[in-house]
Structure 1
Amino acid sequence: MKYAGGLWGDDYTTIFAAMLYVGNLVYTVLQAAVKLSIVLFLGRIFPSQTFRRIAQGIEVILLLHGTLFTIPFALQCTPVQSIWDRTITDRRCLNLQAVGYSSGGLAMAEDIAILLLPIPHVWQLKISLSRRLAVIALFSVGSL
């Protein structure tokens, strides 16, 4: 039992794989929900018509991303049980790496759009330059 090799039996591997499967689904949905709540919050702060239209476009993209990428993660293999049950040999699976890369790329684009969304409106505020930069920095802290 060098390096704790015997501690992970088949039961633990199955449980871990099932938890990882559920975790990926929950992460995809929650990622879209958190971003959606941020955009909705910004819409309440900046009520201009132009801002609302841009925010609504981002909201649609977030909803589509959350929905359309949950489906391939949920149905990544046929039958679905074969994701965590390695005894099922007759299975067909998607290229999850490609799905993950495309989801990650879209998530980065969404993050950048949300980060840039309030900057033009903050820049138009009638306050000193140092305060405008401070407000932009405060909005940008969420991107860290």
Structure 2
Amino acid sequence: MAGLQPDIYAAISITWVAAFLALGLRLKARRMTKMNLWFDDYFAVIALLFVSSYCSVTIYWTHSYKLGQSILTIEDTIEANRIQDRSRLLLWICELLYASSIAFCKLSILCFYWRVFQYTSIRYAIIILLIAVSIWITIRTFMVIFHCVPIRAYWDKSIQGAKCPFNEANFFFATILIHTTMDCVILILPVIEVMKMTLPLSQKLAVVGLFTSGTMYVELLFAICWSNAVQKHDVGSRRDKYGSFLRLSPYATTHFSSLSSRTLDDGRVSPGADQFTKRCSTGGKARGNEIKETGVSEVRHVSWAI
């Protein structure tokens, strides 16, 4: 095992296990507080299923088709072409799984926001974001499936007369940029509402910090965008193309399955947390389904090694 394969295995194994643990604790918290599962919980479970599928495909790709290694290390041209064709197919599958995991994570977070903020001024923004995420995943899935016409031409370059209008590097950059922008808006939404509340500054900062803990993920996404923007001019040659994607692989893998579980239950985070849940309820009274535990912050993963 050489190249970036150890980085890929480490990034996947650590974050994948963390994702399972976080979601397991989330469901256990639901059971302990005797709360019924809602859409945010179901979307989180679906997101983890897509994540698990993606991780499985990536591990298979790394083990069997040299993901994380330079194609130039393979001297047999026929074998190199076979690995390239198979790798492009696996990349196509990963793109679909990657986008789906992102979309269901966003839906999970927004549904969680709806439970907390449905009677506040940001409820319309939440609805707009739910619609925007649904439109985004629909368009992106369509573009991935029909990246080339016929579809098989994406991984089978022997097909004559195929049309592939999208540049891979530009498509990747545009995708990251769009969903990063949506993530920033999603992270800012609760801050606006929290700052309106009549709580001590320390309690406001504690609750704001709780909701904005995903900013570290967004910073990593910007780093990936910058790295891709700097390196995408390299895709012209065979040598630079594979080197560029190889360098992106471990960093992009790390930004994937970071499940963040936060708890707002009975003031365990801070005294302001309990007040926060009550003030977000109808008429300032705590509802039966007031927030006990938050949702998934992010589950996402992308790996471009070929």
Which of the five TM-score ranges fits, normalised by the shorter chain? Answer: 0.7 to 0.9
Q: CA deviation at 1:100?
A: 3.5
Output the TM-score relative to the length of structure 1: 0.87
Figure out how many residues of one structure are paired with residues of the other and give that number: 142
Q: Which structure carries more helix by proportion?
A: 1
> Structure 1: where are the runs of 5+ without partners?
none
> What is aligned with 2:193?
121
CA distance in 1, matches of 2:157, 2:163: 12
- The structure, 1 or 2, with the larger RCO (C-alpha pairs under 8 Å, 6+ apart) is 2
2:88–2:154 Cα contact (<8 Å) kept: yes
> What is aligned with 1:107?
179
Task: Give secondary structure in 2 for the equivalent of 1:122.
Answer: helix
When residues 123 and 30 of structure 1 are mapped into structure 2, their CA distance, relative to the original with a 3 A threshold, is same
Task: Give secondary structure in 2 for the equivalent of 1:9.
Answer: helix
When residues 56 and 74 of structure 1 are mapped into structure 2, their CA distance, relative to the original with a 3 A threshold, is same
Give identity over the alignment, percent.
Answer: 24
Q: CA deviation at 1:126?
A: 3.1
1:122–1:136 Cα contact (<8 Å) kept: yes
When residues 133 and 49 of structure 1 are mapped into structure 2, their CA distance, relative to the original with a 3 A threshold, is closer
> What is aligned with 2:75?
6
When residues 64 and 123 of structure 1 are mapped into structure 2, their CA distance, relative to the original with a 3 A threshold, is same
Which stretch shows the higher mean deviation, 86-95 or 72-81?
86-95
> Structure 2: where are the runs of 5+ without partners?
1-71, 217-306
Deviations along 1:6-65, one digit per CA (max 9) or x if unpaired, are: 375332222211010111111112211111110111111223153222100010001000
CA distance in 1, matches of 2:135, 2:163: 25
Deviations along 1:42-91, one digit per CA (max 9) or x if unpaired, are: 11122315322210001000100010111111101111111111211321
C-alpha RMSD of matched pairs (Å): 1.9
The runs of at least 4 aligned residues of structure 1 exceeding 6 Å deviation read none
